[in-house]
Amino acid sequence: MNLILLGAPGAGKGTQAQKLSDELGIPQVSTGDMLRKAQRDGTDMGVQAKKYMDAGELVPDEVVVGIVKERLAENDCATGFILDGFPRTVPQADALGEAGVKLDHALNIDVPQGELLGRLTGRRSCPKCGAMYHVMFTPPKAEGICDKCGTGLYQRDDDNETTVRSRLETYGAKTAPLIRYYDERGILRNVAGAGSPNEVFQASLGVLGLEG
């Protein structure tokens, strides 16, 4: 089974990708991992990507697609794969299809924006010991205080509401059109992502036609 996971920041794509990878015995392949591996292995595409990255430039779509093709041609992807982080735009999806990469399902984890805001703005960090908390899911025993060392917790700049809203707007403009793109091709599978990770996982198995 060849899958791509769709969903806004905070939807839980990474968690579900790992669960599906374990369940189906197929690799979760992320853009970042693929780029690093291609560079380590010194593939033609990896060498090209390194030139752009060393110059502080974005790696062009055609190079990333080439790296994706190289990665998906490896033995562990013979029975399927889960694409994580690519494609992010319709032109990238077009390029992937033109490169001959076939997808069976595009699983869209749909979470209401209000809950996404709560998930993404709820993270708190300890500046002293580095412990991580979440006000909704893993709160400290005493509000705003680290359980481990008693230091006051803080919210990272990229977790504040203004930054989070900007991230969600970027997703809506560039990545959300992929939902329509894959729906038009008959492979979109929607799953409600507001439940617990296990509830979302079981629902995902259902929409993919698998038994939980």
Residues with catalytic roles: 13, 88, 123, 156, 167
- Beta-strand ranges (E) seen in 79-206 are 81-84, 105-110, 123-125, 132-134, 188-192
Cα angle for residues 139, 134, 154 (degrees, 5° grid): 95
- Which DSSP letter does residue 151 get? P
| Structure token pair of residue 85 | 């982080």
Q: Give the separation between CA 92 and CA 4, rounded to whole angstroms.
A: 13
Q: Give the separation between CA 179 and CA 172, rounded to whole angstroms.
A: 10
Rg of the chain over all Cα atoms, to the nearest angstrom: 19
